[in-house]
């Protein structure tokens, strides 16, 4: 035990085993909703729920153990909200890409992410993108997933006259979603740990009392395999259909979400040293490995979960926190019937999507809205994501107009040459290859 303590540096980081275990439980309660919501979203793309459920847990455990053991960080890595909605509704349903080809694109993005993490010039990809566009991509993705949540709750429905309109509270499912949203928000206002997960459980109980939810015949089952999604990726389809913009989008969102969240969590835990992120390569590789594994196993890209901050707030300072969370996730693998039951009613998971959108849109605070050439392209990225139902198209629009406005002001040199290449690729994608 002493050797393990020394390995995780418990004494150096002024923490104890009991504190780390409690922090692991706290993180688990906060992020547990992911293993229900992610399969629910990807099943809308035609993927097998049980296979995605298993893939979600395995990719989370794999990537989290890497960052816990190699980086000694109290951080959990799991399929990200927002990017999974883009996978299912933007790429598959919106653009007509098969989920097998979309997984191929995820796999390629993971390989590129690994190269970025290993390369000495890997930060070039991050540094060439203007900060205003980075924040806009995160905020726009938040609006997109919020829009999906409102649709799942049927708070927003299609209209022949105005395209969209407010739904009817006379619909039992819509009423349940509203109740669940209010309950979850109240829990959050009282700083209840795992408010999203607890809110889903309470909504499930109310849904059962309303007769909307049927309890499973059995609550426990041996973990199922990933036969429906394992190695089902279609790499050839990515190249045949020229889906390089899709791959680039998966890469951009994965890199931006990961780097920004990692720094934020490391600062919260007091692990930054002189403004630098120690063992950053291990942390980035853990995320890159997770994205790659997701393409093989059958799930959308992973990202560093901001929910890890709850465990850090509870005192977690080492990889023990993340290992404990992984052990609990392993136990959840036996609760697939319960997870499927909760996910079968969109009204139960919709509030979580709406609230996650709120957390992502807070990045708008970091955009300089007094600088027109910086803020207007960011504005276009943000508003076009939910309207076009395409994250990649929105990113392309932002890149293109950023260059146009800079050029109009004679500020060509302020734009990195790599950004011109990206913009040119998006012009081709939107102008000629867009269906």
Question: Residue 401 pLDDT more than 70?
Answer: yes
pLDDT band at 274 (very low <50, low <70, confident <90, very high): low
Model confidence over 21-47: pLDDT tens digits?
988 988 888 888 899 999 999 999 999
Specify whether the CB–CB gap between 256 and 273 falls below 8 A: no
The whole-number pLDDT of residue 296 equals: 94
For the chain, the maximum distance between any two Cα atoms, rounded to a whole number of angstroms, is: 69
Burial (CB count <10 Å: 0-12, 13-18, 19+), residue 188: middle
The whole-number pLDDT of residue 343 equals: 82
pLDDT band at 294 (very low <50, low <70, confident <90, very high): very high
- Least confident window among 33-47, 166-180, 209-223, 341-355: 209-223
Q: Which residue has the higher pLDDT, 279 or 84?
A: 84
pLDDT band at 110 (very low <50, low <70, confident <90, very high): very high
In this prediction the pTM is 0.82
pLDDT band at 277 (very low <50, low <70, confident <90, very high): low
Query: Domains of the chain: which residue ranges?
Result: 2-358
The whole-number pLDDT of residue 137 equals: 84
Question: Residue 126 pLDDT more than 70?
Answer: no
Token pair listed for 178: 């509203």
């Amino acid at each position: 035990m002493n050797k393990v303590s020394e390995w995780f540096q418990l004494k150096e980081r002024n923490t104890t085993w009991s504190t780390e275990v409690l922090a692991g439980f706290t993180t688990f309660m906060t992020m547990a909703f992911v293993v229900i919501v992610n399969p629910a979203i990807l099943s809308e793309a035609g993927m097998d729920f049980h296979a995605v459920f298993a893939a979600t847990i395995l990719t989370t455990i794999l990537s989290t153990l890497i960052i816990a053991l190699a980086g000694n960080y109290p951080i959990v890595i799991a399929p990200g909200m927002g990017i999974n909605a883009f996978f299912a509704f933007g790429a598959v349903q919106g653009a007509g890409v098969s989920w097998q080809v979309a997984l191929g694109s995820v796999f390629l993005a993971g390989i590129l992410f690994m190269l970025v993490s290993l390369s000495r010039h890997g930060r070039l990809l991050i540094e060439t993108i203007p900060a205003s566009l980075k924040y806009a991509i995160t905020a726009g993705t938040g609006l997109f997933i919020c829009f999906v949540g409102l649709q799942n709750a049927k708070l927003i429905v299609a209209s022949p006259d105005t395209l969209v309109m407010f739904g009817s509270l006379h619909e039992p499912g819509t009423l349940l979603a509203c109740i669940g949203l209010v309950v979850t928000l109240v829990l959050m206002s009282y700083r209840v740990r795992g408010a999203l997960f607890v809110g889903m459980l309470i909504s499930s109980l109310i849904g059962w009392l309303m007769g909307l939810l049927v309890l499973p015949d059995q609550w426990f089952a041996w973990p199922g395999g990933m036969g429906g999604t394992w190695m089902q990726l279609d790499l050839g389809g990515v190249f045949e259909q020229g889906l390089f913009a899709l791959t680039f989008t998966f890469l951009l969102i994965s890199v931006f979400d990961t780097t920004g969240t990692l720094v934020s969590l490391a600062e919260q835990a007091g692990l930054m040293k002189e403004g630098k992120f120690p063992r950053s390569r291990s942390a980035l590789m853990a995320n890159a490995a997770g994205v790659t594994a997701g393409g093989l196993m059958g799930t959308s890209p992973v990202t560093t979960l901001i929910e890890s901050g709850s465990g850090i707030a509870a005192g977690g300072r080492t990889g023990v926190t993340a290992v404990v969370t992984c052990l609990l996730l392993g136990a959840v693998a036996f609760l697939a019937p319960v997870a499927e039951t909760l996910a079968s009613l969109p009204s139960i998971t919709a509030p979580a999507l709406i609230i996650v959108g709120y957390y992502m849109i807070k990045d708008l605070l970091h955009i300089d809205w007094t600088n027109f050439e910086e803020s207007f392209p960011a504005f276009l990225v943000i508003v076009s994501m939910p309207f076009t139902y395409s994250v990649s198209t929105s990113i392309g629009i932002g890149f293109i107009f950023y260059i146009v406005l800079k050029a109009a002001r004679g500020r060509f040199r302020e734009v990195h040459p790599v950004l011109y290449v990206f913009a040119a690729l998006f012009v081709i994608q939107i102008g000629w290859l867009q269906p």
